[in-house]
Chain A
């Protein structure tokens, strides 16, 4: 087992897409319960590659990754979002994830982010502890948020004062008529409500 000093932390580089993305996908698909298409990775990396950080071991193999984005939320605050975080199992407990998340947060702060949000599975106590140590608070619980039926917590970190008072477009929970029987909800209402932070 290598020492922490053998690890290198690097920012994602577009020019190395071929090697990076494959390794990233392998790491993430092993760790997280959700299957993502290549398009999801491209969505993040093409637009916010500079908010993606990697941990490489002494053999230059990827052992950790964080993928994130940063954009205004519903014409309101500039919101950072940590979409994926994974560390190879045998490398856990060495602060790699914390270091990666810190790098992502620092990069977002540099770019004047107002707040950072993310979701984590309710059962993932490790992740929750990590983020809470960094100062995130749980703002709400999301019922059966993931495909596997697990619920999630939304975790929030404000980086500036007054962020909570910035107005965003509100969703009226009773404004929409009920779904039509037999049809998938064509308005994607649930998902939009859930993914308010993402869209």
Chain B
């Protein structure tokens, strides 16, 4: 289905000229056209056609007044914002507003959420110049519950929206997918300072506490809602200053207030007549009328609680302890389910990198330098050469430093983008990596050029393998290739997460995943070989300069350790992929694997392979596996079922061991200089849960393999009848899908038809 869209791009206004009535001319010209005849500019696109509104159609034209409809009635509601409210109604209204606020956080436009509130409409239009102006009516209500309590709540809510809006709109997000930034010419009280809102809330809290004629339960209910507003405002106001304050106090007390708030929702009495879609008619917008969005209280409160908890847990990634830990923490936090809200994701973007600085303290270049030291260049002259120390331009070290500086400048941004990418919505992560993969293919080639130049300057001695050609380390392009292979893996795995693959593609996709993993493992081996050689050279040459040696030793140790962890992890992925590949091949051979396409399909396996490989076609390295080779390999042609299932059993056993080792290695590399054993963090717990879910999926796979083996032996003793198996491919989110990235088939014996 064709999408409609709310981004209706306003046309740039032409220079102001005097308006002229063209009705007659227009009617005359139009009368010469036949119905259905299209008058269209060459450049008029479908996008513009979809954005077109039909004037005088009530479904499209939000300003349309039906015949007989009274203009005033069509635009204005009878609702009296000065009317006294019962405490129950105040609680109900506060909660209705909160639900609308969350709906907006979740990506719905203000026009369908908060801006349906008559109270907010009165507060914000005309745009108030002073806080005093921001009120429901020129003559305030006689009821302080309205003029003081509800007003303070509403104002603080609007200010909270202002802070969220500013943060989201300054970061990278997708309009409409993640958030609708449209304010319809209203202002979210951005000019007023937090203290003014706090002051009003305090007044309201005091007033409520002094009342004797309000039931205590209701007083408490109103109280916790006001306090929540107070704390939420402070928490949002902290924003990126959290890097300095390191305070979770406000978000924590938000969660504290959400408890009694949740318990007292039932006390409230909703006031539906205080919300109206008629307001949409007045909002400066070119959108057709859209229904009010209803988020229920439970969902809204759960959303807010998660937002606060994510903000609190975010603290645990603010201390920089090396690139690997940084990347793991960011990815793990942002992979939470449900995915952290757009506010959190935007706040994280700002924390991850602002002004080319990571977490407010580490220059991006330093992050890149640490990453290179960790993976390819431990204690290496390429990273240590410094133009400050060597000032003679003819000195190779000066030239190395210059070349490396150029490399850093070129690669820092793309590198930090690979980390920052985790802040996008899940669909966009995969799509973005599909694009950046091509960039990294080019970056690798650029890095290769730099490697060649640096090799001459550093005088790196080549290695010779089995009497072959001399081979050099190519550290920078090796690192770029490592990045690229990680991105390949991510694209494939996100494909499973986003349910992109049809069941018949599963054998092939797991084959491809293992193919990428084994390529990656080979590449890491290559890197390791050169690091070992460098270490040997280093030990032989630096026997005399002992001052440096322990530092160098620990640099090499760190690098070997990092490579080892990486290897273990990729082996775990590889082995699991091999096992699932083998299992699916057998299921597919025996035609018990469900198929999405039919024999009457328009496409062939070859054409479908081409679609699937589209992101990889332009990539020079690793080369795309040609279809015929893929077909042979992925179908395990020539191998018997028994051989394949043995292969599956072996692989899944290896996978379980490797995942256990990965779990034992932990989420983070301990900093030997840091405090001993920091307490396990929530992010670490998330990471562990993820690995454990993978291990559960391994066990599920073992069981499936056994079930297939059993069914096979049963058929072979019964003369080659079809396998008596039922295979279900569990959907993402279903109970039997232990992990989004691992599609483990549920294999059960088919019940005989009674």
What is the interface of chain A, defined by CB distance below 8 A to chain B?
A: 14, 17-18, 21, 32-40, 42-43, 45-47, 69, 83-85, 105, 109, 118-121, 124, 127, 129, 132-147, 149, 151-153, 156-165, 167, 170-174, 178-186, 188-195, 198-199
Contacts and interface: CB of A to CB of B under 8 A. Distances in A.
Given A34-B2, A147-B290, 14 more contacts: A17-B35, A35-B60, A36-B4, A37-B49, A42-B49, A119-B1, A132-B596, A134-B597, A138-B499, A141-B427, A157-B602, A162-B610, A181-B181, A184-B7
Nearest to A98: B600
Contact of B38 (A35, A47, A120, A138): A47
B211 interface: no
Which of B46, B181, B427, B430 gathers the greatest number of chain A CB atoms within 10 Å?
B46
B108 interface: yes
Given A137-B611, A157-B603, A43 B38 contact: yes
Contacts of A135: 597-598, 601-604, 607-608
Given A180-B169, A184-B181, A45 B596 contact: no
Interface string B32-69: 00011110100001110110111001011000000000
B417 A174 contact: yes
A154 B432 CA distance: 15
B2 A143 contact: no
Given A133-B598, A137-B502, A173 B60 contact: no
Nearest to B34: A17
Contacts of B472: none
Nearest to A46: B38
A84 B1 contact: yes
Contacts of A129: 596
B1 A121 contact: yes
Contact of B3 (A46, A119, A132, A178): A119
B246 interface: no
Which of B1, B172, B498 gathers the greatest number of chain A CB atoms within 10 Å?
B1
Contacts of A151: 427
B7 A185 contact: yes
A168 to B, nearest CB: 11
Given A143-B174, A173-B435, A185 B47 contact: no
A121 to B, nearest CB: 6
Interface string B6-39: 1111100000000000000000000000011110
21 contacts: A18-B35, A35-B60, A36-B4, A36-B50, A39-B52, A40-B50, A118-B1, A127-B1, A132-B597, A135-B598, A135-B602, A135-B608, A137-B505, A138-B501, A143-B427, A151-B427, A157-B607, A162-B610, A165-B617, A190-B177, A195-B46
A178 B435 contact: no
Contact of B428 (A109, A137, A143): A143
A156 B611 CA distance: 7
B177 A144 contact: yes
B183 interface: yes
B172 A174 contact: yes
Contacts of B614: 139, 164
A192 B10 contact: no
Interface in B396-424: 417
Nearest to A136: B603
B610 A161 contact: yes
A120 B35 CA distance: 31
A45 B46 CA distance: 12
Contacts of B170: 178, 181
Contacts of B253: none
Q: Which 10 A-B pairs have the closest CB atoms?
A: A135-B601, A135-B603, A181-B169, A46-B38, A132-B596, A17-B36, A43-B49, A143-B427, A39-B52, A34-B4
B602 A182 contact: no
A160 B603 CA distance: 9
Contacts of A105: 602
Interface of B: 1-10, 35-38, 40, 45-47, 49-50, 52-54, 57, 59-60, 106-108, 165-166, 169-178, 181-183, 288, 290, 417, 425-428, 430-432, 435-436, 438-439, 498-502, 505, 596-598, 600-604, 606-608, 610-614, 617-618
Contact of A42 (B2, B38, B108, B288): B38
Given A178-B172, A191-B7, A133 B596 contact: yes
A37 B60 contact: yes
A73 B281 CA distance: 38
A138 B8 CA distance: 28
B426 A143 contact: yes
B430 to A, nearest CB: 7
Contact of A192 (B47, B60, B425): B47
A3 to B, nearest CB: 22
B618 to A, nearest CB: 8
Given A46-B38, A46-B40, A161-B606, A195 B5 contact: yes
B177 A21 contact: no
Contacts of B598: 133-135
A45 to B, nearest CB: 7
Nearest to A160: B607
A112 to B, nearest CB: 14
Contacts of A17: 35-36
Which of B2, B37, B172, B174 gathers the greatest number of chain A CB atoms within 10 Å?
B2
B47 A140 contact: no
Given A157-B603, A181-B166, A35 B4 contact: yes
A37 B435 CA distance: 34
Given A181-B166, A195-B46, A145 B3 contact: yes
Contacts of A167: 618
Given A119-B2, A184-B7, A142 B427 contact: yes
Contacts of B432: 173-174
Given A35-B59, A181-B166, A199 B46 contact: yes
Contacts of A124: 1
A153 B502 CA distance: 12
Contact of B171 (A160, A178, A182): A178
A17 B610 CA distance: 40
Contacts of A172: 435, 439
A195 B9 contact: no
A21 B36 contact: yes
Contacts of B45: 198-199
A139 to B, nearest CB: 6
A124 B1 CA distance: 10
A72 B26 CA distance: 34
A182 B601 contact: no
B435 A120 contact: no
Contact of B54 (A37, A46, A183, A199): A37
